[in-house]
Homo-oligomer: A and B are copies of this chain.
Amino acid sequence: MKFGIFGGARVGRADTLHDSYGYRDFINYVIAAEKIGFEGIFLVEHHFTGQGQLSASLNLLSYLAARTTKIRLGTGVVVLPWHNPVLLAEQVATLDVLSGGRVDLGVGRGYRKAEFDAFCVPMSEAQERFAECFEVMLKAWASDERFTHSGKRWQYKDIMVEPAPVQRPHPPIWMAGGSPQGIAYIASQNYNLLLDQLASIEEVRERVASYLDGLEKIGKPRDATRVGIARSITIVRDEAERKKAMERRKDTFKRIGAIAYRKPGQAQPSHDDPDLANDDSALLGTPQEIVDRINVLAEAGAGYILLTMASISPESVQQFAEEILPHVKDVGPKFGASPAPQQVAA
Taking each of A23, A48, A83, A144, which has the highest tally of chain B beta carbons within 10 Å of its own beta carbon? A48
What 1/0 flags go to A37-59 for Cβ under 8 Å of B? 00000000001111011011011
Q: Which of A156-187 contact B (CB under 8 A)?
A: 156-166
CB-CB under 8 A for A163 and B12, given A90-B56, A98-B60: yes
Across the interface, do A120 and B84 meet the contact criterion of CB distance under 8 Å? no
Q: Which residues of B contact A50 (CB under 8 A)?
A: 146, 160, 162
Q: Which residues of B contact A94 (CB under 8 A)?
A: 55-56, 59-60
Q: Which of A14-22, A275-283, A305-313 contacts B (4 or more CB under 8 A)?
A: A14-22
A50 to B20, CA, bound (A): 36
Across the interface, do B12 and A59 meet the contact criterion of CB distance under 8 Å? no
Q: Which of A62-70, A247-255, A323-331 contacts B (4 or more CB under 8 A)?
A: A62-70
Across the interface, do B118 and A156 meet the contact criterion of CB distance under 8 Å? yes
A47 to B90, CA, bound (A): 9
A60 to B120, CA, bound (A): 30
- Partner of A66 from B67, B90, B159, B165 at Cβ < 8 Å: B67
A: number of interface residues (CB 8 Å) = 60
A66 to B16, CA, bound (A): 17
CB-CB under 8 A for A164 and B98, given A62-B62, A84-B82: no
Across the interface, do A166 and B118 meet the contact criterion of CB distance under 8 Å? no
Taking each of A16, A82, A157, which has the highest tally of chain B beta carbons within 10 Å of its own beta carbon? A16
Find the B residue at minimum CB distance from A164. B13
CB of A21, distance to nearest CB on chain B (Å): 8
CB-CB under 8 A for A16 and B91, given A58-B59, A63-B98: no
Q: Which residues of B contact A65 (CB under 8 A)?
A: 63, 66
- Partner of A157 from B12, B53, B118, B159 at Cβ < 8 Å: B118
A19 to B23, CA, bound (A): 27
What 1/0 flags go to A3-38 for Cβ under 8 Å of B? 000000001111111011101000000000000000
CB-CB under 8 A for A97 and B162, given A87-B83, A90-B55, A118-B157: no
A152 to B162, CA, bound (A): 30
CB-CB under 8 A for A16 and B97, given A48-B161, A67-B66: yes
Given A55-B87, A62-B62, A120-B157, 7 other A-B residues pairs in contact with their CB atoms under 8 A: A11-B97, A23-B97, A47-B90, A48-B159, A56-B93, A60-B98, A63-B65
